[in-house]
Structures are given as structure tokens and as C-alpha cells.
């Protein structure tokens, strides 16, 4: 890598896994970056299967989940997922990408042994991928950054629940083999595991978005009279938001891990370009306007890395880490946006072409500032906490 990752508190076993992942990503996956089986809505299913087969053969498929089902610590997971993110195709190949990584984490924590056997085992093995059905269309007044606005309903009917509603920005819905559907009962939010495809879940369209790294893209989905067996509910009716919190902070953080890896790679490419390309009698890197941008990149990358490991350490204590993950998501996404933008700028015209992944990383990071909560929503939430904490002190 172009700089030294934090190694304290990471077992030799996890470091060995991270090294194998990096070797696989650099030596194998990067060779697919110009593969024509990638489009506006992500890599094709055929490319996804080929990459996963290669990862399986290399022993790095779902590397953060061990053979006995145990999960690496969050700090150890960071060491692995940062390496998998060195190319946008790396998380797909290694099966560390969203939404699968977050869904596997959630099921590993809260699903019954029966549901884990039926759904989680097929996900961990790479047999199927998944989708998470929470966000709803704004035109319906549905849930976005405020999940309490959920409009999708569920009602009991004998030994089943019946779900109706619409969802949007559902990553990977097209081609997924299972889904986690959030809906609202009289008791509150609920989560259900469903087999896909299902005729009651109809993809209205796949949106054209700025990013293009996730198979299946991001879909608008109609759910009409979906019948789900009662034993496929996670927990009890009304516990959906509690389970969403289990998934929330680690999923935010794993986004930061993967895109940090991508920006490390983009900076490597921009640095190589600046050292090889000459203008006005010397290498670009010797012009302060360019060299200073690369120096700023190193600082932003290091700060992002330290935030990731700090938040991982918090989560490893067993606390929810909601505040810390909000802080990390904002700080890392904004820092990586600066890094990606500078990489494009350093490379000039070459930076806006698809000849390297720098242009794609720029697009993906711009979307990352929105996904898992826009920067402004996290700042608003943090400001509310500041006010609450102040009131506690001054109410004494």
C-alpha cells in the first residue's frame, strides 16, 4: 500500500488475511477494471460470479467471516476491507460489498439459527446476494433519512404477514436471492427475511445514478400483497428499528473502509502520473500546485484511516457507536471527496476519462456522501446531541 496502515490490536491471523486480500485484489481483480461487462447499473451477474469464483479459489471470499462463523473484530475487519476496496471491483469479488456485508453482519447478530441456516449460510458462501428494503420514494412521503416516516405496512394474516408499499434506492434488488424488508405494523417497525425473486415484489425501474460499482444498481420497487411466513420476521413485531441500529453503525463504517481503499488506489495512480508526466521543463510533482495537492491527499488519507480505526475500536467495546459512526462517516466521506477531487485535478484531462479508475472513484465517493445518511443529516443529529448534553449539565 502507499502508506502504512494501523497494525496495533490486529491479530497476526487478521493481518495475514488482509495481505492475501491485497495480493488477490492487486494481482487478479485489477485486471478486470476495463472488463466490458460493467455498465451504468453495475457489473453484470456473469462478471460477479467469475470474480467470486476466483476469490473462492484464492481463499479470500467473505474473508472477514471465519470458517467457524466467527466475525473478525471491527478493527481487524477494517484492515481487510480497506484492502478489498483498492479497486471498486474488489469488494464485489471478495464479497465484502454493500449491502451484503451489512446484511450478513445483522443476520449473524440477531437471526435465529433456523434463519441463519436458511439465509445467512448461502450469503456467506457467495451463493446469493441480498438487498435491504428500507428507503421509500419522497413523492410518497416515505422514509429516507428519517425512518420514522415509513409508509410500507405489514399486517398479520394467520401464520403469515402481508406487506404492501413502495421502496426506492434499493441496491442490488435486481438479481438478489434474498431481501430484508422493513415495514410498519401497529406495534412499530418490523423486519422480514424474504426469498427473491418474488412476484409480489416488482422492480418498477433501475435508477440511473452517478455511481456504478454495485451489481443490480439501485431500484424503485413496488410491494403488493407480499405474504411472508411469520417465522421469517426478525424478532418480534415493533423491534425493527432496534435491529436497524444493530446494522447501522457497522455498515456506515464498512463503507468508510472500502472507499478509503479506493482513494488510496486513486492517489497511487495520481502520484504515479504526476511523477511520470512532465510539463514546463520538469515533472508535474515538482510544481508546487501539484505536489501540494498530493501532500494534502496523504494528510486526508491518514486522518480518514485514523477515524476508521478509532470508530472500529469504539464498536469493539460493544457499545452502539451511533455518535462515533456519524462523526466518522462525515469526516471520512468529506476527506475522501477532497482526495478524489484532487486526484482528478492532478491528472487533468486524463483524470476525467475512464482510462483509469480515478474517474469512477470520484463518482462513487460523491455518491458516498449521500448514502447511509447525507453529511448534513449527521451534522444535525450531532448538533442535537450537543444541545442535549448541554442541557444535562446546565439543568443541575
pLDDT band at residue 6 using 50, 70 and 90 as cut-offs: low
pLDDT of 2 reads: 43
Q: Domain 12-124: which topology?
A: Butyryl-Coa Dehydrogenase, subunit A; domain 1 (1.10.540)
pLDDT of 3 reads: 46
pLDDT band at residue 69 using 50, 70 and 90 as cut-offs: confident
pLDDT of 147 reads: 83
pLDDT tens per residue across span 281-292: 999 999 999 999
Say if CB 93 and CB 140 are below 8 A apart. no
Domain 241-389, CATH: 1.20.140.10
The candidate with the shortest Cα–Cα distance to 194, out of 146, 141, 152, is: 152
Indicate the burial class of 317 (C-beta count within 10 angstroms; 0-12, 13-18, 19 or more).
exposed
Average pLDDT estimate for 224-247: 95
Give the whole-angstrom CA distance, residue 234 versus residue 183: 12
* Residue 284: C-alpha distances to residues 297, 351, 362 (Å): 16, 14, 21
Q: Domain 130-236: which topology?
A: Butyryl-CoA Dehydrogenase, subunit A; domain 2 (2.40.110)
What is the percent of the chain with per-residue pLDDT over 70, rounded to a whole number?
Answer: 98
Report domain extents, the chain: 12-124, 130-236, 241-389
pLDDT tens per residue across span 29-44: 999 999 999 999 999 9
Encode 151-196 in three state secondary structure.
Answer: CCEEEEECCEEEEEEEEEEEECCCCCCEEEEEEEECCEEEEEEEEC
What is the percent of the chain with per-residue pLDDT over 90, rounded to a whole number?
Answer: 93
pLDDT of 5 reads: 60
Which grid coordinates belong to 240? 425493527
pLDDT above 60 (res 1): no
Say if CB 120 and CB 108 are below 8 A apart. yes
Give the whole-angstrom CA distance, residue 60 versus residue 100: 16
pLDDT tens per residue across span 303-345: 999 999 999 999 999 999 999 999 999 999 999 999 999 999 9
> Is the bond into 235 cis (omega within 30 degrees of 0)?
no
Amino acid at each position: 500500500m502507499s502508506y502504512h496502515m494501523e497494525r496495533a490490536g490486529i491479530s497476526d491471523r487478521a493481518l495475514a488475511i488482509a495481505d492475501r486480500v491485497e495480493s488477490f485484489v492487486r494481482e487478479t481483480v485489477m485486471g478486470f477494471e476495463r472488463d466490458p461487462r460493467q455498465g451504468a447499473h453495475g457489473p453484470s451477474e456473469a462478471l460477479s460470479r467469475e470474480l467470486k469464483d476466483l476469490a473462492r479459489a484464492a481463499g479470500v471470499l467473505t474473508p472477514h467471516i471465519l470458517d467457524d462463523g466467527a466475525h473478525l473484530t471491527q478493527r481487524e475487519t477494517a484492515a481487510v476491507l480497506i484492502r478489498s476496496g483498492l479497486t471498486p471491483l474488489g469488494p464485489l469479488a471478495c464479497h465484502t460489498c454493500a449491502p451484503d456485508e451489512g446484511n450478513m453482519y445483522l443476520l449473524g447478530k440477531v437471526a435465529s439459527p433456523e434463519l441463519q441456516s436458511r439465509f445467512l449460510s448461502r450469503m456467506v458462501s457467495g451463493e446469493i446476494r441480498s438487498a435491504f428494503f428500507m428507503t421509500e420514494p419522497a413523492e410518497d412521503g416515505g422514509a429516507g433519512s428519517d425512518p420514522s416516516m415509513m409508509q410500507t405496512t405489514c399486517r398479520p394474516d394467520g401464520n403469515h404477514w402481508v406487506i404492501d408499499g413502495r421502496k426506492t434506492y434499493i441496491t442490488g434488488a435486481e438479481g438478489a436471492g434474498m431481501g430484508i424488508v422493513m415495514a410498519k405494523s401497529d406495534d412499530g417497525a418490523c423486519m422480514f427475511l424474504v426469498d427473491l425473486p418474488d412476484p409480489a415484489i416488482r422492480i418498477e425501474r433501475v435508477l440511473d445514478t452517478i455511481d456504478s460499482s454495485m451489481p443490480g444498481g439501485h431500484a424503485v420497487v413496488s410491494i403488493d400483497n407480499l405474504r411472508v411466513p411469520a417465522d421469517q420476521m426478525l424478532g418480534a413485531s415493533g423491534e425493527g428499528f432496534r435491529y436497524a441500529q444493530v446494522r447501522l453503525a457497522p455498515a456506515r463504517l464498512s463503507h468508510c473502509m472500502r472507499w478509503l481503499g479506493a482513494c488510496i488506489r486513486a492517489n497511487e495512480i495520481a502520484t504515479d502520473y504526476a511523477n511520470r508526466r512532465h510539463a514546463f521543463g520538469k515533472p508535474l510533482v515538482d510544481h508546487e500546485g501539484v505536489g501540494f495537492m498530493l501532500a494534502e491527499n496523504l494528510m486526508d488519507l491518514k486522518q480518514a484511516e485514523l477515524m476508521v480505526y478509532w470508530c472500529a475500536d469504539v464498536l469493539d467495546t460493544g457499545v452502539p457507536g451511533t455518535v462515533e459512526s456519524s462523526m466518522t462517516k462525515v469526516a471520512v466521506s468529506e476527506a475522501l471527496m477532497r482526495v478524489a477531487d484532487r486526484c482528478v485535478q492532478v491528472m487533468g484531462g486524463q483524470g476525467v476519462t475512464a482510462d483509469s479508475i480515478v474517474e469512477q472513484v470520484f463518482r462513487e465517493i460523491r455518491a458516498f456522501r449521500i448514502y447511509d445518511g447525507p453529511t448534513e443529516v449527521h451534522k444535525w443529529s450531532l448538533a442535537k446531541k450537543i444541545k442535549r448534553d448541554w442541557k444535562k449539565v446546565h439543568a443541575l
